[in-house]
Chain A
Amino acid sequence: MEKNFRITDEDGIHARPATALVNTANKFKGSEAFAEANGKKVTLKSILGVLSLGLEKGDDLKLIVEGDQAEEAIHALAEVMINEGLGEVHA
């Protein structure tokens, strides 16, 4: 499962929303989650990984989930992206 986003937050991805993303990814023990941006792919279970993407406003971000509960997980992650005002779903 994957979903594309465009970062809309003025300050890119902050530590706080990144924390929320990682905590959410960690809830789904049976699945692997990844974030891909600017040609780099990192595990979503690492805050250092997520911050290392150096996301800024206007960047495209792809979230990928594999394994158990993938659909539920991607749904939860998309909710964090939108509720935290980080980004919007992008085709």
Chain B
Amino acid sequence: MLEIKGIAASAGVAIASAFRLEHPDYTVHQENVADSDSELKRLDDALAKSQQELEAIKQRTEEQLGAKKAEIFESHLLILNDPELLDAVRDKITSEKVTAQYALDEVAKQFISMFENMKSAYLRERAADMRDVTKRVLTHLLGLNYINPADISEEVIVIAEDLTPSDTAQLNRQYVKGFTTNIGGRTSHSAIMARSLEIPAVVGTQEVMAQIQIGDTVIVDGLDGKVIVNPSAEVLEQYQLKRDQYLRQIEEWKKLKEVPTQSKDGVHVELGANIGTPNDVTGVLENGGEAVGLYRTEFLYMGRSELPSEDVQFNAYKTVLERMEGKPVVVRTLDIGGDKELPYLDLPKEMNPFLGFRAVRLCLERQDIFRTQLRALLRASVYGNLRIMFPMIATLDEFRQAKALLLDEKQKLTSEGVQVSDSIQLGIMVEIPSTAVLADQFAKEVDFFSIGTNDLIQYTMAADRMNERVSYLYQPYNPAILRLVKMVIDAAHQEGRWVGMCGEMAGDATAIPLLLGLGLDEFSMSATSILPARSQISRLSKAEMEQLAAKAMGMQTAQQVVELVRSIDE
């Protein structure tokens, strides 16, 4: 028995035998043949087999993940039948008397290099599609014994170095019970896909490929980030129990989908979700989210070669607002700069990006960018319940300037005859200690606060959370942080404002009792954390948690606070 530690990327426990997903060697050597006709025949056979596979994958993806995710395979089918590609390959086979695999590989390389040299980043990525299709046909031509992830037909745990988007999209949930990879983090593509497929996953183990052989019995514990290889009978039984418990718990959680979030003593708090794209709304609704507590608009700006136009933004905001059907949507204005780069803005590198030219600081200087976003937001405001939030506010003056620009654009739109909602709430993110300390003054001018704990903690503790040597100072439960959060909440309530939290801390089971006790009104977290959080809160008494929080704030260390919270039985 062997235990390997990794990062818990998708919750749940899975037990099955190991399937090693390794991409074979596709190197092709030049070889001459006498009989071109038989090569043409081999090519056609390989194409026919590939076609069958692709059609099956496309159909299955459509059934499991919807038509949108299946479109990629529709493109692959077209590439497979592309006349430009096939004419060139057939021509090469007959005129140069080479093998079908060599001809295909050579022609495909030309297309791949053409895509790789394109100006548009989007088209450059199409090289990957060309590679995918070529490999599929080569597998047949080379007689490789490679089982495509899509062809897995018994229950397995997939073990891989990493999973490409194409690998992950082909995983059949019916048979792939879980997966584990050597590399990757919680936010890597494969981890995100695992959560949306609801397959338990542990990533970033560094060693599963070296330690696990085909057929080994493997336990993937996506709750605690552990992989266990060839467990003893006792351990196996223990994990079967853990798996069944988790499955029962999911059923329990599902019952809470339509129920408003309420503590045991009847206090209602709002549970919202953090999203990055309009597509994420599906997950929010499926998990019973009462709001979008944080819509990060950065993704609209990333992965393209120029700023998104007002219309592109308008459509995204409108989609989110409409799909939330009147439930509140907090949109954070552009939070970029410093460590989050936009290549086309050409910002200079900074010594201290976290303390630098970013977020609202950048927006107040680059008013062209900011005004475009504000106009798009204002135009979208009539389609739902919009709340606008400015990030990284350090002074009252910054808030006033940002608000003035918003009002200015609103005025312009109204005079152009464009309809704009009159009930947009305007708030700020509290993530800089100066703002937390002055919250009583801010509360007179804003409609709400949302506490961004990731940054607030690192600024309060003066420790870069990315720096491993000081990461021990990233302490959400430090009494200093709790007192700061309390200050913000009290100041806001004094003026009749509400306070949310949109950092990691809001969805953390250890933090939730404390935050409830401190009087937080809205918790925003990843969509899949909503139902567990709702279930937890329903078992907590707000009045009791107030006492707990008061006790915690009087403690000396974060460790003591954690022990205090663990000592309560729900």
Contact = CB atoms under 8 A, between A and B. Distances in A.
A66 B222 CA distance: 58
A47 B75 contact: yes
A49 B84 CA distance: 7
Nearest to A15: B75
B312 A56 contact: no
B400 interface: no
A-B pairs with the 4 shortest C-beta distances?
A46-B84, A47-B78, A15-B75, A54-B118
Nearest to B72: A15
B68 to A, nearest CB: 9
19 contacts: A10-B308, A12-B122, A15-B126, A16-B71, A19-B75, A19-B78, A22-B78, A23-B78, A42-B84, A43-B84, A46-B84, A47-B78, A48-B79, A48-B82, A48-B85, A48-B111, A51-B126, A52-B111, A56-B120
A86 to B, nearest CB: 13
A59 to B, nearest CB: 11
B245 interface: no
Contact of A19 (B71, B84, B130): B71
Binding site of B, secondary structure by majority: helix, strand, loop or mixed?
helix
**Interface range, B side:** 20 to 34
B304 to A, nearest CB: 7
Nearest to A46: B84
Interface string A43-84: 101111101101010000000000000000000000000000
A11 B312 CA distance: 11
A22 B447 CA distance: 52
A54 B78 contact: no
A52 B115 CA distance: 7
A34 to B, nearest CB: 12
Interface in A1-26: 10-12, 14-16, 18-19, 22-23
Nearest to A52: B114
Contacts of A14: 122
Contacts of A43: 83-84
Contacts of B85: 46, 48
A71 to B, nearest CB: 24
B123 interface: yes
B115 A51 contact: yes
A74 B85 CA distance: 24
A36 to B, nearest CB: 15
Contacts of A46: 82-85
B309 interface: yes
A27 B78 CA distance: 13
A23 B75 CA distance: 10
Nearest to B129: A15
B22 interface: no
Nearest to B88: A48
A50 to B, nearest CB: 10
